[in-house]
Structure 1
Amino acid sequence: MAPVRLKALHPLAGAVTGVSAGAIVAILMPGALGPALGLIAAGAGLATSLWALERRNLGQRELLLAGLGEVKVRLATNAIRIDALSQRVEQMPMRDVDAAPARAAINELTAEVGLLGDLIHQVATTLADHDDKLAKLPAAPVQAPAPARSTAPEVRLDPEAARREHAEKLAAERAAAARAAQEEAEAERAGIISAALREGRIEVHLQPIVSLPQRRTRGYEAVVGLRIDENTLLLPHEFLEIVEERGFGPTLDALVLTRALAIARHLASRDGDIFVTCNFSSATWGASRALAALTRILDKYREHSSRLVIEMPQAVFRALDPTSLGLLGAMSASGVRFALDQVADLRFDPQALFDRGVRFIKVRAALLQAHAEGRVASDIAAGDLAAMLARASITLVAETVEDNPMAADMIELGIAMGQGNAFSPPRPVKPEVFAEPAPESAAAARTEPAPPPPPRPSAEVLGYPQPAAAPAEDAPRRPERLPFRAVLRRASA
């Protein structure tokens, strides 16, 4: 028979045994002694049950605390492993943009582990406070009911609040990681654009400006592109903002102006008054020193500046200071013409614009259509706008004409010139256009005949008789007279 273990018995077994023994004693023993001994046995059984129950609760609490300690150890081990995983991700050869999702996941796991550790710590603290309260209960004096004040802070576990706090923390960490990844990507992109600009990888495409309705090419607009690699060409709206933020606007404008003047030099060799237009950045228009530097470039190429037209936004033109207006006057004196673009309203003073050197006004075709339909307020009818500007020797150009119906509307409004994909998209410029012309001295050397060789020393100097004079090359040679027999002999030979 296997031995009975007392620890395996239920805590109420003592009470049952004591009550049963007390009842038996009270029945078997006569007199008053039997019931007294029975009560004593029952009380002893109840005391034994309470002691066993307390010991069992203490054992379970110790097991719970040991389990919590083991869980905390495992959480610390997992935190160490997650830290090692984060270091491995940092050492892996991949870009920051690709590593951002892995970092966000690792941060989320770290936050989860930290939250579990905090919850376990709160449970352990609650159990410890409960034990302290139970230990102090027997020693506390019995007093009238009063609001209990606990020295230890009361810890309340609210799973919903903890979940919301954890979700907000994760959202904040993810947003911070996304912002960091975006800032790193923007910094990398800005570095690539700055490097391409420093290396001068500027490409110029030309879009024709045609006369209406003949659609003959009257000029070209130089559209600037930045070559990143063999397969990537950035358009102006993709890199101008970064260029201006980095302070490379004047550098870009100098490169564009130099290429536009090279195109103007090439156009000078063709028939017709064909011009080329170019744009400057807003940073250049707001800096007098940058405009002065561009003016010096124009002075070096003064012979080609008459075919150059510089475009200027309408808002920038209205906000120019007196110094910038003086520099515009110097450019106009060298033969440069100006064009207003990015027009927001159609209120013009033609004579004042002409005095400032403006010879073209470029307006979006959609704005002209809206003006003709009465959706844009103006002091002049849409059909009279081009004629009013023409009387002041200013040509109205409709830009961004995308299709033939829009081109027909521009013709009905009397627009003299048009530009857009309806006529031709921007096309790259041939490399030979930017090639420097051959120096004039070398060209003259190729065209002029070679000098005659030096005369040989005469016979008088050498002591020999004078040779017979050679017949002059310019004198006509007389035909040699041959006898008739000699002619027959040659014919029969």
Structure 2
Amino acid sequence: MIRISTIFIAVCMVLVAASLGLILYSVAGISGSESAIVSLAALTFLILYNAVSMRLRDRSDVGSQIADLSRGTADLARQVAEFGRRLSAVEGRMVSSNSVSADRLQGVVGEINELGGLMKQLAVTVAQHEDLIAAIPQAAAAPAEAAPTPARETQAPAVAPVASAVFPEPNAAALGSADRKPKEATATFSAAPAAVAKASPAPQPAATPVAPAVMAPSVPRSQPQILAAVKGAIEDNRLDIYLQPLVTLPQRKVRFYEAVTRLRDERDQIVAAEDFIGIAEAAGLVGRIDHMVLLRCVQVLRRLMVRNKDVGIFCNISSATLSSPSNFSQCLDFLEANRALAPSFILEFKQSTLRNLGSTETEHLAALAQRGYRFSIDHVTDLRFEPRELADRGVRFIKVPAALLLDPKQSSVSDIHPTDLSDLLGRFGIDLIAERIEGENSVVDLLDYDVRFGQGFLFAPPRPLRPEGASATGEAAASPAGGQDIKIQDPNAAGTPSLDAPNASAATRSGNAALVRRIAGNI
């Protein structure tokens, strides 16, 4: 686009040339043709002058631009040189740090070797200490067996076993020195001192002790009796939920709980699930039982999640409920209403149930998976799994008995070696759980199988849930003899809360010793 200044200069040149011709024509008296020629010549001169001046000006502008570009190139070269210097400095630092790291690594390797020797010595020392500890009860029992038994010693009452050691059968000396009775024992067993004070020096027949009221031992029941107990428990709401923790290995932190169903008859005697489930399925009552168990499990899960949001609960569903459209529809409506708990609510089925799925069961299982519920497999009888198919169905946990997992025969029977089973299942998002763990040796062996979770009586047996709002003292008094109510524990806390202190310390001691032996053997 032509600039305004250029147009203005051109107009001025035309006006100057025309003015020059007009002056020559009017003042000098030159003819019109001659004055026009002079005007054109002047116009041509002005045009040439303007073009040359513009070319010179453009050349100076280009020169200044080239000078600026040269200065920019020089700055860039200086910056590149500075970057090269810094890069060489960084390379030098990396070389020096690598050499320092190599020296430190050599020192760490030497310390690890020294620790290996110390661990071997520690393993030997711990083994010797365990042998000494195991020999202490035998040494203490030997003098007791060799000691003569008093002629007039009577059998201790069943109600207080410790009282026989504190209050022996009275004799003549004891009657004369009644003030030498232990005061602590008198406070604990208030009835025993009175009995000693009233005894005569002559041998007297021991009175029959009055035993406390305890639950009568369970006797074999017939199917009609169990069926009647099941119906009565359903009508009177006598289905109880017991919780057994699932812990992480080897940390033994509580991560999940499994809900175990127990039934109480009219005499408050406990009936285990394996004793009445088959009869309830045959009578068509298992659907109502599953619905009641689901309701209790949801209530328990809400209580658990008040303390920790990461806790989960396993709830068993029978194959009869899964295959019955009417029973399953009730359970599905209930689970749909509690869909927010789906990430922490795991539904558990038997291995035989998932292997024999029909079209109805498959559709029901897919409906649960669409609502976000995850599944678990228990009652595993072999290690033949299809991980991809199970993962597609929504299975995220598989419980395998520890004895089956550690059985050497399974390596030849199953499609994959048991040590690789956890890795195979983990590729498809399925966690392997070792259940029915009853010994520390099993825990140590399972560590080689990369098992993440464990369950069994070693950690804690199934125990009833403490009623909501009950105090600790009241619960201790109300709990039956030999039983303890489970306390809701933070899953991030180490260990299992339901173990007694002596048993827990003994289990920890033996478990640590086994781990030390395993580490020393590997070194």
* TM norm structure 2: 0.46
When Rg is computed on C-alpha atoms for both structures, the one with the higher figure is 1
* TM norm structure 1: 0.49
Between 1 and 2, higher relative CO (CA 8 Å, sep ≥ 6) is seen in 2
